[in-house]
């Protein structure tokens, strides 16, 4: 546990693609912001989240704009630019009131947008590196001018990502993402249906085409979930994918949690369809799909910095079968909480060996290594360390 750290006031400058709240279907960065805020609040830290009015956070909700953009990929409109400007200006004004110790940023483009004069920030900035190095874009442009004396500190979310950002000024220790394990259903005797589950944005990088091949070669049923963003290449990818899908259905319609399994899931799972696409599901719905699956397929085709899917699945006691790319080997324990494979043949063999993995081991692995309490403690220690260092430097300069 954390050792007698003073209470720290942290202002999170949230992203605007989607609201910051618990019940998101898709919103990886927003989910992480929600979890950090919740974890800090549980620790007794003061967490303020500057975000849209349709958000719902555990800490203090500081509203900057009325509604989030609601899409991860949309046209760059004047209204969005105006809302972004308003959000950032209001966040900066909030930081200047004198009661904030740390600003926690989550979007490199935002930092460039408003903090080009980063040394004018009233307090140090911690920035979680959610994106891989090759996709940093605007981050690279302003980061090149930073000095080690800058009041900006960068947190990689995996060792894999830290290596990608080698040489980054003020890079800190890795802080893995965490989930509130208590929010994920777990029963050792839960009925497991004979299906594999795959969830993620429908795009070539996520490898849903590979998941379909694995399912067909092993004779497994496959449930595909995820949103299709408004990108030409993603729409084209799904159009090709659809040729191998036996059923396309929307299962996200409102339904009481205790009825969803009987009224929505069971009819699909009792059908003769093998490859089924169910669209984007809510947070509570995906937990049920995780829980009843034999395993979750993570067939990524790129170096993902961190996969929330991995820890969400294991929190439900469901093993993960994943390709050995990006941060996967840091998160999945090969042979104990799933299988990490280098090839299609390896993945096919892994499907046939799922019974060797104990659901309790999956659950305990997340409780012991990827909880929001652990994540929040690490961020709290980092905030305190930065504040102490800045105070020492100020005394020396005087």
| Positions of the chain with pLDDT under 50 | 1-2, 119
Cα separation values, 258 from 254, 284, 365, Å? 12, 11, 27
- Residue span(s) of the chain under CATH 3.40.50.2000 come to 9-178+371-397, 181-369
In whole angstroms, what separates CA 182 from the centre of its chain? Answer: 17
Q: Where are the alpha helices (DSSP H) in 71-225?
A: 78-95, 108-114, 138-143, 159-164, 208-218
pLDDT in tens, 50-74: 999 999 999 999 999 999 986 665 5
User: pLDDT digit string (tens) for 223-240?
Assistant: 999 999 888 999 999 999
Q: Which CATH number describes the domain made up of 9-178+371-397?
A: 3.40.50.2000
Q: What is residue 33's predicted lDDT score, i.e. its pLDDT? A: 96
Phi-psi region of 10 (alpha: psi -120 to 50; beta: other; left: phi over 0): beta
Distance (Å, whole) CA 263 – CA 265: 6
**Nearest by Cα to 292 from 197, 179, 182:** 197
Taking the model in full, what pTM does it have? Answer: 0.91
pLDDT number for residue 135: 57
Structure letter (DSSP) for residue 263: I
User: Which pLDDT does position 342 carry in this prediction?
Assistant: 96
CB 193 within 8 A of CB 269: yes
C-alpha angle 259-260-262 in degrees, rounded to nearest 5: 70
Is residue 177 within 8 A of residue 130, CB to CB? The reply is: no
Rg (C-alpha) for the chain, rounded Å, is 22
Task: Give the count of alpha carbons within 13 A of 316, CB side only.
Answer: 27
Tokens of 267: 């009819």
Task: State the sign of the Cα–Cα–Cα–Cα dihedral 125, 305, 302, 299.
Answer: negative
Q: Is the dihedral of CA 223, 228, 234, 237 positive or negative?
A: positive
Torsion of CA 255, 260, 263, 268, to 10 degrees: 120
If we measure between CA atoms, which residue out of 160, 84, 173 comes closest to residue 128?
173
Q: Transcribe 279-294 into DSSP letters.
A: ----HHHHHHHHHHSS
- Taking only the tens place, the pLDDT of each residue in 76-129 is 678 888 888 899 889 989 999 999 999 999 987 777 665 665 546 788 999 999
Q: Which CATH class is domain 181-369?
A: alpha beta
pLDDT at position 2, please?
44
pLDDT at 1: 46
Non-local CB neighbours of 12 within 8 Å, separated by 6+ positions: 33, 36, 37, 47, 48, 49, 50, 51, 104, 106
Closest of 217, 204, 245 to residue 350, by C-alpha:
217
């Amino acid at each position: 546990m954390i050792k007698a750290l003073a209470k720290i006031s942290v202002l999170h400058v949230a992203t605007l693609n989607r609201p910051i709240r618990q019940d998101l279907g898709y919103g990886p960065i927003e989910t992480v912001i929600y979890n950090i805020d919740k974890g800090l609040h549980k620790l007794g830290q003061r967490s303020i989240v500057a975000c849209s009015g349709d958000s719902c956070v555990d800490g203090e909700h500081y509203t900057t704009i009325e509604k989030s953009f609601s899409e991860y990929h949309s046209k760059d409109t004047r209204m969005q630019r105006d809302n972004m400007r308003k959000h950032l200006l209001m966040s900066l004004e909030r930081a200047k009131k004198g009661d904030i110790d740390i600003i926690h940023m989550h979007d490199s483009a935002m930092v460039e947008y408003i903090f080009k004069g980063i040394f004018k920030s009233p307090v140090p900035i911690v920035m979680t590196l959610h994106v891989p190095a090759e996709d940093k874009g605007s981050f690279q442009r302003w980061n090149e001018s930073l000095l080690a004396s800058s009041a900006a500190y960068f947190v990689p979310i995996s060792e894999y990502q830290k290596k990608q950002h080698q040489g980054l000024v003020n890079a800190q220790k890795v802080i893995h993402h965490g989930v509130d394990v208590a929010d994920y259903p777990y029963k050792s005797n839960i009925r497991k249906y004979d299906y594999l589950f795959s969830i993620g944005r429908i795009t070539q990088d996520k490898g849903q085409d590979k998941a379909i091949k694995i399912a067909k070669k092993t004779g497994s049923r496959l449930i595909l979930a995820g949103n299709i963003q408004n990108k030409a290449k993603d729409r084209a990818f799904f159009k090709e994918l659809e040729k191998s899908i036996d059923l396309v259905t929307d299962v996200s319609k409102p339904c009481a949690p205790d009825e969803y399994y009987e009224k929505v899931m069971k009819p699909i799972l009792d059908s003769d369809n093998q490859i089924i696409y169910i669209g984007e599901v809510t947070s509570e719905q995906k937990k049920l799909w995780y829980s009843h699956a034999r395993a979750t397929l993570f067939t990524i085709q790129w170096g993902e910095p961190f996969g929330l899917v991995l820890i969400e699945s294991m929190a439900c006691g469901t093993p993960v079968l994943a390709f050995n790319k990006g941060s996967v080997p840091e998160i999945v324990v090969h042979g104990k909480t799933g299988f990490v494979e280098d090839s299609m043949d390896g993945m096919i063999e892994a499907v046939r060996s799922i019974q060797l993995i104990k659901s309790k081991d999956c659950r305990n692995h997340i409780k012991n290594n990827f909880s929001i309490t652990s994540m929040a403690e690490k961020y709290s220690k980092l905030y305190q360390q930065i504040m102490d260092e800045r105070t020492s430097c100020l005394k020396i300069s005087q």
